[in-house]
Amino acid sequence: MKKSESILVGSGKRQYPVLFTEGKCIPESVSALTASSQSVIIIADATAHALYQKLIAKVLSKIGKRAKLITIPSGERHKNGKHLLGLLESVIALGVDRSATIVAFGGGVTTDIAGCLASMLLRGVKWIAIPTTFLGMVDAAIGGKTGVNSELGKNLIGTFWPPQAVIVSPDFIRTQPRGEFKDSIAEAVKYFAIQRKPSLKDLKLLQKGFPEHDSELSMKIIGQCVRIKAGIVRADERESGVRAFLNFGHTIGHALEFCGSYRYISHGRAVAAGMVGAISLSLKQGLKLSPAVVELQEYCIELASGRKVTIELSEALTALQNDKKRKRGKLMFVLLKEIGKPYLSPAPNSRELRQTVDLSIGALVD
């Protein structure tokens, strides 16, 4: 993947490009994309704002008086309905009309909440996603899923609202905090589990070399993930089929994040722990143990481990019941026939489910 290339996501009128570009080209790109908007509202999270203040200032100055900046707090715990409504009121107070464009600038939480806001504002306005984290570039900002967490579970409020464009610049990755970067890798590992790409070798190389890794490798990996996701979203934008495979590791992962109050366990760690559980369930249902499966599970354990957290098994099992992928009341899991061959399976019996969730919780311990 070269800087200045693009990948199309989705199909028909809902198709949009993921534009790969250098950070310094972002003001020009945003200005061109928003030329017909009477107002351009940049929503940046506090972390992205602190790191890229100068770049945001350049975007604002390039667009001129039509542009306004709103900063929001960083972190999944702020991704809720109350915050979303407050943010909507702030944007409405700016006197926007339906030609407005929302520019989401930041991590996955920011693209989720700002995209959701765009889908609700005046019954829907355009938006552009500028992910500043590896996780956002490989997954969260791609595919048009927007949303916030409900009091009962993760991402239970939201819309499918494709952006006008996603602008990806691996230049941002170098400034991501190390811990956050490790978290981000889990979403890319998910693609390896369900599509055999990117390779674990490349992912480990990228992680090892962070933050001085060569941007060619990050471009290659991000390009591979975006291409996979683009194909899946083209086939099934609204997740009535293959898109569900992108939730590998997320069924347990979301329950763990919920139990950690979206504060103590990051999304990447939770997904990595969820993948540990999903691999173990897959092994019980027929996945053959091979060096590649062992390597995948060990890598997930490494990515899940971190600061000690206490999670009650009973709480996690209750939280699991609110997963949004339930079908006719039944909890569904994405499992593997082999690496690269995912399938959907109803939850196992309660004893096996307990063992699996317990294993995932165990993976979170350092």
At residue 281, φ and ψ (nearest 5 deg) are -65, -40
Give the other-Cβ count within 10 Å of 350's Cβ.
Answer: 9
136 vs 306, beta carbon nearer ligand GLY: 136
Q: Does 254 bind ligand GLY (CB under 6 A)?
A: no
30 vs 118, beta carbon nearer ligand GLY: 118
246 vs 273, beta carbon nearer ligand GLY: 246
112 vs 171, beta carbon nearer ligand GLY: 112
CB of 243 to ligand GLY, least distance (A): 5
CB of 198 to ligand GLY, least distance (A): 16
Query: Which x/- pattern over 138-157 shows residues binding ligand GLY (rule: CB under 6 A)?
Result: -x---x-x------------
Please report how many Cα atoms fall inside a 13 Å half-sphere around the Cα of residue 365, on the Cβ side.
6
Distance of alpha carbon 173 from alpha carbon 54, whole angstroms: 16
171 vs 257, beta carbon nearer ligand GLY: 257
Distance of alpha carbon 110 from alpha carbon 158, whole angstroms: 13
Bridge partners, residue 327, by sequence: 330
Q: Which listed range, 92-100, 242-250, 255-263, 274-282, lies at the site for ligand GLY (CB under 6 A)?
A: 242-250
31 vs 247, beta carbon nearer ligand GLY: 247
CB of 145 to ligand GLY, least distance (A): 5
**Spatial contact of 166 and 16, defined as CB atoms under 8 Å apart:** yes
CB of 246 to ligand GLY, least distance (A): 4
Residues making up the chain, counted from first to last: 366
Kindly report whether the peptide bond that precedes residue 198 is cis, defined as omega within 30 degrees of 0: yes
**Spatial contact of 272 and 300, defined as CB atoms under 8 Å apart:** yes
CB of 28 to ligand GLY, least distance (A): 28
139 vs 183, beta carbon nearer ligand GLY: 139
Q: Which listed range, 70-78, 192-200, 219-227, 240-248, lies at the site for ligand GLY (CB under 6 A)?
A: 240-248
Kindly report whether the peptide bond that precedes residue 291 is cis, defined as omega within 30 degrees of 0: no
Distance of alpha carbon 321 from alpha carbon 307, whole angstroms: 26
Q: Which listed range, 97-105, 117-125, 137-145, 344-352, lies at the site for ligand GLY (CB under 6 A)?
A: 137-145
Q: Taking CB under 6 A as the criterion, which residues in 63-102 touch ligand GLY?
A: none
Number of chain residues interacting with ligand GLY (CB under 6 A): 6
79 vs 243, beta carbon nearer ligand GLY: 243
Burial bucket for residue 328 (CB in 10 Å: 0-12, 13-18, 19+): exposed
Q: Does 246 bind ligand GLY (CB under 6 A)?
A: yes
Q: Which amino acid appears at position 334 of this protein?
A: V
**Which of 318, 169, 320 lies closest to 247, judged by CA?**
320
**Spatial contact of 221 and 227, defined as CB atoms under 8 Å apart:** no
Q: Which listed range, 5-13, 26-34, 241-249, 284-292, lies at the site for ligand GLY (CB under 6 A)?
A: 241-249
139 vs 257, beta carbon nearer ligand GLY: 139
CB of 233 to ligand GLY, least distance (A): 8
23 vs 198, beta carbon nearer ligand GLY: 198
Q: Does 136 bind ligand GLY (CB under 6 A)?
A: no
Burial bucket for residue 18 (CB in 10 Å: 0-12, 13-18, 19+): buried
**Which of 54, 207, 184 lies closest to 107, judged by CA?**
184
Q: Which of 49, 78, 213, 243 binds ligand GLY (CB under 6 A)?
A: 243
Give the pair of three-digit tokens for residue 177.
């905090």
DSSP string, 244-258: GGGGTTHHHHHHHHH
Report the interhelical angle of 313-320 vs 250-259 (nearest 10°): 120
Q: Residues interacting with ligand GLY, by CB under 6 A?
A: 139, 143, 145, 243, 246-247
